[in-house]
Structure 1
Amino acid sequence: MKEKPTSPIKKPISYALAIFIWSIAIVLFILLIKSFNNNGVIADDKELFDNFSQYEGEIYLSHQYKLPDADIATFRAISDKREDNHIALDKNHVYCGNQILPDLDPQKTVALGNNYYSDGNATYYCQSNTIDEDNRVWWQVIWEEIQFQFFDVPKTQTEFYPFSKLSKSNTPYHAIPNLHNTIITDEHFVYYQGNVMKDANWQTLTEVKEQTEDGSHRQSYFYFTDGEHVYYKNQLLPLKYNEQLYSFNPNTTRFRKEYLFNPMNGMVYMEDRALEQQNAPYTLLSRYAGHAYHALFLSKNGIYFYNARGEHIESLGDNIFTNLAVLEHNENQIERLGDNIFYNQNYTEIAPLVFSNGTKTLFIDAYETWSSGSARRGGGRLASITTSINELDGDLKGEWIKLGEINSGTIWQNGERYFYFDEYGESQGFRHTIYEFKNKQIAENTLHNKDSGLSPSQLIHRLEDNDEIKLAEYNTIAIAKAKTVLYRPIFPYLFALIIVCGIAANFYRLRKKKKSKEQRKN
């Protein structure tokens, strides 16, 4: 059989395609290595002060980002205070990070405090923490990284110090005495982080009291009042101030959220958002957060929480295996976890996050899942966080007797069974709220050896290793679950895809070439 002649065009094209694929693979491989070894930081620059450095006649912020038109000879810090370490001046400009603040005279500009800066004519707020403004798509990230690594194009800046210009005033701006936050006034308007607090009276403005986990009070960092109005940061809330108002932030384990409670009508605000008024009055289930990722609010109509990452809730009924409902939601939603199982049941919080009514014992617990599929920090990235309401198993209808305290929790007796209630939480290495001792002797020994020199987690974990204590058996009644956004770096996946495509293309070319030779022999 006569072999069909190969097109003189196809062969060069196949070679060119293979060369192109392998060239891209090599470039991405080099880019990947360089990006790990060089993230834009200039290693041999000269430190100037705070966040600024000098390299080859140029001034840089955070060893990476060039300041436009900076004059080295007159470049200086605006003050020696830590809150101003992102502000600098030269003979021409005032800089907020590496951004020029327009209309400021550097010869007259001074720090007013609370991150405000003025030359007597123009006044600016420049936040001391950066914000991320990276809106690039994946191919832009790759192309800009190639330009930076190979062609000496400046690294793309995605983090900035936000700033805003205040209204021009004939009255000098000044900080308000006894306020510890980023607030300033010209005695006509009040600004929080450069934003106007509508109708605020600067002469009477103060912080709302904040209730801490132990029940004591301090001043809130985020809620303010002038005796009439109430504000979250600069946002005016739709309520009138009363002396009973207080703020709290029980979600310190994973996501810190600020809440405001009005005992006059039982309304709750999460930052500047109100929980639904038709479900009021609300009560906070527990002010403790050691084993909780969500603050749970009780109403006669149900249990509610603010789902900050809010992709879904899982609500369990009587049968945990057959009655599982998964509800999809948008971000930042106030969610109903389920019926209020505490309503009219006379539950008392006998220990942080542990509740008993003499018949049943409920407790709150929290756990994480990771992208590798393992719970805890065994690898991968955080995939979700969960707060669960659970009921202890077994015959626990007797009275709970507190035997004593160790510096991480308390030891309890119920009938012939002995338990450890943890108060330290996830951040201290305790994975669960309630553990059960193997017998009375071990519980008493633990109480007597609380000053053994071991840390609380070491003490409990040693008991676990010796099978002297175990996780208490329980049934899960309801869970609130929030999925997190997983970031997966594009370079390894793209590189692997190109390598696979390159290998496949070469195998196909070699196989075709071999087949062609066999046909010629025949």
Structure 2
Amino acid sequence: MLKSIKIRILAIFIIFLILIVVICIYKFRASFLTKEERLQKFRPSTAITGLLGSDGKALFKGESIEKDSFDYFKKLNHKIYFSFPIPLDGYVIPILGADTNSFKTLAQHMQWNKYSDNIKSRNIGLDKNNVYCGDQKIPNLNPKNLSFLGDGYLTDQQHTYFCDWEFKAKSDAIKPNIFEKFDYAIFGTKISQTGYYYPLYKLINGSKPYKLILKNTVTNGESTYIDGLYLKVTQPDQLAYLQTFQPNENIHKENSYTTDKINVFFKNKILDITYHTHLQSIPFNFEIYLYDPKTNYYFYKSNKINYNNLKLINTEDKKSNKPIFSNQDSLFIFNTKKLELEKISKNPFHNSLYTLSPSVLSNGKDIYSINSYNIYSSTLFMFFSRLCSSNLELRVMKNMPIVKWEKFRKISIKNPKYDWEKIQGNVWKYKEDLYYLPENGGILKLHSTESSNRFLNNQITFSEAERLINDKSLFEPVLGRKFAKYREIHNFCFKNYVN
């Protein structure tokens, strides 16, 4: 035991020594080319960066073009500036040639009030001469005849454009090197991206004007575009979303699949599938999957998961960040970056699968719970939210046969302020113990008190229920033993390797 402790202390000391050496090499290696230097070619020479002072307040004091707006456009010293809404930093660029006196936002041009302003138009402005998408001048678009079709589409009847409302970085393809990663992890130095822009696409005009038919989708009967990209569809008047969502899932619809009753599309891509009414769209953590029961194949976005006889074991678990697939032998996660299946464990459900709650399953003998969580960054010198990784765990409680579980009570407690928010789930009895299985995941063992009895009888307020559920002396979390784990890394963080 003592020897093991000494080995651990020695290993920690060696790791710490290596870190010190790496940091010293990085800090004092004068010939080393920094990422900021490598990315200068992407940054406009007129850009103003580093806009936050040491107190976190903005150093750029331009006058807002429009009151009650998001301050994308500003005026300073007879110039118009565009401010990219970048977390933890600022990035402002002058709009070259913009007329200060006549400049206005699209919302002002359309005479919208602050409540009806479309979020997909806040990066669009115009003056007496030109229309602008962010800081870009839109070629040949006449502001005098300007019309807004919706969702980023603009036309002057002669020319039609799509101005994306989500900015991108030209430097996205350049990954940070090892020294930058250590500097970020230890000192919190931001791994910057430069050269921000809003994608701008020109549409082909025809004999008829374009009209918005679905979210982000326009057609003139001859050509159809989604997010500014050409959609090869022969019957645009038939174009519709796949109607497979539950009412509480409609938020996913506009980022889902569409069909013209012949083909199935994800965005502007045609899927290798024939349309029929039994296709199923499945949302997971704002990602959309598709299942075709006729061929027994799944799709992720436009990508066919080319593995037959898969089954989805957590279809109803809307809190999971990933779907878990199974075949006779194994459990899999689909890696959305590599676009391939990755095995995470053997399949404990190859003989039978029972559902106690959306995230609690049984194979008849053992109980398995699905737990999803994210890890966020923190450093020695500063704290801020940067997503390090998304994690999914499958945990097991051995030798708890399903035949001894009895559904005891249904829980449903509404929030009086928000009708859509509820504390709900089911209470199950196993032998002499009660377990609360909330619909949003987890297993909580109930300890009998006057308060927990009122909870069981739905005789408790929403706020009190929230407080009680977080009291571990009354609702004891049951984790079980780790059976399988999958981690998707989004950014380099030491926490990814020590948790």
| 1:447 aligned residue | 456
**Greater length-normalized contact order (CA 8 Å, ≥ 6 residues apart):** 1
Distance 1:169 1:456, change over 3 A: same
1:482-501 equivalences in 2 (<5 Å): 482-486=488-492
- After superposition, give the CA deviation of every residue in 1:100-156 in whole Å (9 maximum; x if it has no partner): 0112122223212232112222211001222233457889xx9xxxxxxxxxxxx99
Distance 1:355 1:213, change over 3 A: farther
Residue 367 of structure 1: SS of its match in structure 2? strand
- Higher alpha-carbon deviation: 191-200 or 468-477: 468-477
**Residue type at the aligned position of 1:344:** N
Residue 249 of structure 1: SS of its match in structure 2? strand
Q: What 5-or-longer segments of structure 1 have no aligned partner?
A: 1-20, 22-30, 143-154, 311-330, 426-432, 489-522
1:346-361 equivalences in 2 (<5 Å): 347-361=353-367
TM-score, normalisation: structure 2: 0.71
| 1:384 aligned residue | 389
**Residue type at the aligned position of 1:451:** I
Shift of 1:357: 4.6
Distance 1:237 1:411, change over 3 A: same
In 1, the alpha carbon distance for the partners of 2:56 and 2:478 equals 49
| 2:282 aligned residue | 248
Distance 1:226 1:107, change over 3 A: same
Asked whether the equivalents of residues 283 and 299 of structure 1 are also in contact (C-alpha less than 8 Å), the reply is no
Aligned partner (choices 200, 221, 231) of residue 163 of structure 1? 200
Residue 350 of structure 1: SS of its match in structure 2? strand
Shift of 1:222: 2.5
Aligned partner (choices 470, 485, 490) of residue 461 of structure 1? 470
Aligned partner (choices 415, 429, 432) of residue 416 of structure 1? 432
In 2, the alpha carbon distance for the partners of 1:156 and 1:384 equals 20
- After superposition, give the CA deviation of every residue in 1:385-418 in whole Å (9 maximum; x if it has no partner): 3212222245555432222233333221111122
Shift of 1:166: 1.3
| 1:479 aligned residue | 485
Asked whether the equivalents of residues 312 and 323 of structure 2 are also in contact (C-alpha less than 8 Å), the reply is no
In 1, the alpha carbon distance for the partners of 2:375 and 2:101 equals 54
In 1, the alpha carbon distance for the partners of 2:454 and 2:366 equals 28
In 2, the alpha carbon distance for the partners of 1:390 and 1:38 equals 42
| 1:334 aligned residue | 341
Residue 257 of structure 2: SS of its match in structure 1? strand
In 2, the alpha carbon distance for the partners of 1:118 and 1:213 equals 34
1:43 aligns with 2:66: no
In 2, the alpha carbon distance for the partners of 1:121 and 1:201 equals 24
1:56 aligns with 2:86: no
**Residue type at the aligned position of 1:384:** S
Shift of 1:344: 2.4
In 2, the alpha carbon distance for the partners of 1:283 and 1:156 equals 38
Shift of 1:33: 11
Asked whether the equivalents of residues 58 and 66 of structure 1 are also in contact (C-alpha less than 8 Å), the reply is yes
**Residue type at the aligned position of 2:301:** E
Shift of 1:58: 1.1
Asked whether the equivalents of residues 213 and 250 of structure 1 are also in contact (C-alpha less than 8 Å), the reply is no
| 1:67 aligned residue | 95
1:262 aligns with 2:278: no
**Residue type at the aligned position of 2:393:** S
- After superposition, give the CA deviation of every residue in 1:309-341 in whole Å (9 maximum; x if it has no partner): x6xxxxxxxxxxxxxxxxxxxx44332223332
Distance 1:44 1:246, change over 3 A: same
In 2, the alpha carbon distance for the partners of 1:70 and 1:219 equals 38
Distance 1:59 1:417, change over 3 A: same
Residue 470 of structure 2: SS of its match in structure 1? helix
In 1, the alpha carbon distance for the partners of 2:247 and 2:443 equals 20
Aligned partner (choices 299, 304, 317) of residue 288 of structure 1? 317
Distance 1:485 1:268, change over 3 A: same
In 2, the alpha carbon distance for the partners of 1:411 and 1:185 equals 51
**Residue type at the aligned position of 1:385:** S
Distance 1:85 1:46, change over 3 A: closer
1:10-25 equivalences in 2 (<5 Å): none
Asked whether the equivalents of residues 86 and 96 of structure 1 are also in contact (C-alpha less than 8 Å), the reply is yes
1:102 aligns with 2:127: no
1:175-214 equivalences in 2 (<5 Å): 175-176=212-213, 179=214, 181-212=215-246
Asked whether the equivalents of residues 282 and 315 of structure 2 are also in contact (C-alpha less than 8 Å), the reply is no
Distance 1:248 1:442, change over 3 A: same
Asked whether the equivalents of residues 202 and 226 of structure 1 are also in contact (C-alpha less than 8 Å), the reply is yes
- After superposition, give the CA deviation of every residue in 1:216-259 in whole Å (9 maximum; x if it has no partner): 999554211001011001111111100111212122xxxx2111
Asked whether the equivalents of residues 307 and 334 of structure 1 are also in contact (C-alpha less than 8 Å), the reply is yes
Asked whether the equivalents of residues 124 and 132 of structure 2 are also in contact (C-alpha less than 8 Å), the reply is yes
1:126 aligns with 2:163: yes
1:298 aligns with 2:326: yes
Shift of 1:38: 7.2
What count of residue pairs does the alignment treat as equivalent? 402
TM-score, normalisation: structure 1: 0.68
Distance 1:363 1:48, change over 3 A: closer
In 2, the alpha carbon distance for the partners of 1:126 and 1:218 equals 22
In 1, the alpha carbon distance for the partners of 2:370 and 2:153 equals 44
In 2, the alpha carbon distance for the partners of 1:209 and 1:274 equals 20
Distance 1:228 1:157, change over 3 A: same
User: Identity of paired residues, percent?
Assistant: 22
Shift of 1:359: 2.6
Shift of 1:37: 4.8
Q: What 5-or-longer segments of structure 2 have no aligned partner?
A: 1-27, 29-48, 85-91, 181-191, 414-422, 495-499
| 2:370 aligned residue | 364
Distance 1:444 1:359, change over 3 A: farther
Asked whether the equivalents of residues 209 and 218 of structure 1 are also in contact (C-alpha less than 8 Å), the reply is no
**Residue type at the aligned position of 1:74:** S
C-alpha RMSD of matched pairs (Å): 3.6
Shift of 1:275: 0.8
